[in-house]
Structure 1
Amino acid sequence: MADPKDPADELAGTEQPFVAHLMELRDRILYALYGVGAAMVLLAIWPGPSGLIDWIAVPIRAHMPPDVKLIAVGVFTPFFVPLKVLMMAGLLLALPWVIYQIWAFVAPGLYSHEKRFALPLIVIGSALAYLGIAFVQFFVLDKMFAFIQGFTPASVNATPDIASYVEAILSLYLAFGLAFQVPVVVMLMVRFEMVTVEKLKSFRGYFIVIAFVIAAIVTPPDVISQLALAIPMCLLYEIGIWGSRWFASTKPKTEASAADADQS
């Protein structure tokens, strides 16, 4: 570690009391909640909770008879389900603001070279989360429900419950949003010297097996959604290997000299 008395250490003398850190954390959490609340208000005005429900129900309604609608079994389901969807949509809309608050909290404790690589990873991670959710909404759900509805007997009228439907797709949003963070995780592991690019290449075959096991666990029991998660994870793993080469090649000389000083 760098000597706190070293004048070359840009963080020397910037330490704050523990209470100050707690107050800063409280403020950042409040700012993040304010952002989510503002996003919820905007979405409540337009398109509204009903509009959000109609939008996320498009994939399954496309494979149901025109005169059949989703049903609400519970007494309070018509109120709590739209509210749940509104909260999730507000969090997604305010995600860049929430991540910025996390960044603003940890940034004062980072060196300049750490900030240079951390900020791009935050942007990439946010974009990948949105990409994963969009992939679910516009591709996975349509193919998955087409596959499932194809097994419905002609004598059965499939009328899914809106609460179970929302719970299922929200779990898919979360699973794909997290799975699409594979490149960020890979690049961070290389950046902090936990693994090397060569190790990641040799681990490629094992990761393919792990990806299919994860997909089998977190997705519904249909081959479409499992393949839709496992295959992108394998592709994103390759992208992470490619991106980690750039992070490894741009390691500042100051870090290497600091590591040599620690060893000495």
Structure 2
Amino acid sequence: MTDDPQATGAGDTFISHLVELRNRVMKASAALLLVFLCLMPWAGNIYDVLAYPMMSALPAGSKMIATGVITPFLIPVKVTLLVAFLIALPVILYQAWAFIAPGLYTHEKKLIAPLVISSSILFIAGVAFCYFFVFGVVFKFVNEFAPKSVSVAPDIDSYFSFVMTMFIAFGVTFEVPIVVIVLVRMGLVTVEKLKEIRPYVIVGAFVIAAIVTPPDVMSQLLLAIPLCLLYEVGIWIAPLFARVTRAPEEQTDLTA
């Protein structure tokens, strides 16, 4: 019985890819764990930074409460893990890029690398916009609207859940230009069609904002307006990106 050289070569290649994937995942996990362990001594301070927008909107001397037995420990650990992930994100993305890059053509590398980098930057920008601007407006509005007979003392678990929901909502909202660019680049939709459906997108933006944000007009506007503006940015950039990342055969077809 003789071994098939092609089958043996394919098996060796598959195993080598698995080993490479394992090594990349371990390096990314090690970077995340290292940053997390380095930040753990300041977990309480990191949570205080996250809680600052709420605390600055509350009356002087107010504090949050913790109703769970291990909540005062668990929530700061979760926040620290999130911050560690954001700090280690460049290393994680590099490991992902180093794994897939050898199998890509030159024009595909031109397509993937800018998308990975820009999507990460835009997501972080959305989180920063939410933290530095939206929270200050929303929390101040909510606490000023509260009756004087009510003592506002948010639970840290509920606050963390709310903050994560808002961070994800704004982070994903800031990815709208990437979605538009990818749709145009893949030929699934044209720029002209995107301009044509603009009124429906605006209505959809306000519907989404009403679903994912608190039931106040201010926070809904602060999500819907950037979503509409970023949609326009995507329409503007998509044709430029399509030309830069065009494959050689596509360029030949256009010049023929």
> Residue in 1 aligned with 2:244?
250
One-letter identity of the residue aligned with 2:18: L
| Whole-Å separation in 2 of the counterparts to 1:257 and 1:139 | 44
> Residue in 2 aligned with 1:62?
56
| Whole-Å separation in 2 of the counterparts to 1:235 and 1:206 | 14
| Whole-Å separation in 1 of the counterparts to 2:10 and 2:119 | 29
> Residue in 2 aligned with 1:40?
36
> Residue in 2 aligned with 1:143?
137
Q: In the TM superposition, what is the alpha-carbon distance from 1:107 to its structure 2 partner?
A: 1.5
Q: State which of 65, 75, 98 in structure 2 corresponds to 1:104.
A: 98
What number of residue pairs does the alignment pair up?
246
**SS of the residue aligned with 1:221?**
coil
- CA RMSD for the aligned pairs? 2.2
| Whole-Å separation in 2 of the counterparts to 1:236 and 1:15 | 46
> Residue in 1 aligned with 2:227?
233
Q: State which of 199, 202, 216 in structure 2 corresponds to 1:222.
A: 216
Q: In the TM superposition, what is the alpha-carbon distance from 1:250 to its structure 2 partner?
A: 2.7
Query: CA 1:103–1:83 in 2, change beyond 3 Å: closer, same or farther?
Result: same
| Whole-Å separation in 2 of the counterparts to 1:22 and 1:146 | 51
One-letter identity of the residue aligned with 2:184: V
Q: Is 1:171 matched with 2:165?
A: yes
Ranges in structure 2 where 5+ consecutive residues have no aligned partner: 1-8
> Residue in 2 aligned with 1:6?
none
Ranges in structure 1 where 5+ consecutive residues have no aligned partner: 1-12
Query: CA 1:54–1:195 in 2, change beyond 3 Å: closer, same or farther?
Result: same
Structure with the bigger percentage of helix: 2
Q: State which of 15, 20, 32 in structure 1 corresponds to 2:16.
A: 20
> Residue in 2 aligned with 1:29?
25
Q: Give aligned-pair identity as a percent.
A: 47
| Whole-Å separation in 2 of the counterparts to 1:51 and 1:189 | 42
> Residue in 1 aligned with 2:127?
133
Query: CA 1:19–1:93 in 2, change beyond 3 Å: closer, same or farther?
Result: same
One-letter identity of the residue aligned with 1:232: P
Q: Name the stretch that deviates more: 141-150 or 101-110.
A: 101-110
> Residue in 1 aligned with 2:72?
78
**SS of the residue aligned with 2:150?**
coil
Query: CA 1:105–1:253 in 2, change beyond 3 Å: closer, same or farther?
Result: closer
Q: State which of 203, 207, 211 in structure 2 corresponds to 1:213.
A: 207
User: What TM-score do you get using the length of structure 2 for normalisation?
Assistant: 0.89
User: What TM-score do you get using the length of structure 1 for normalisation?
Assistant: 0.86
Deviations 1:177-205 (A, max 9, x none): 11111111111111111111111111211
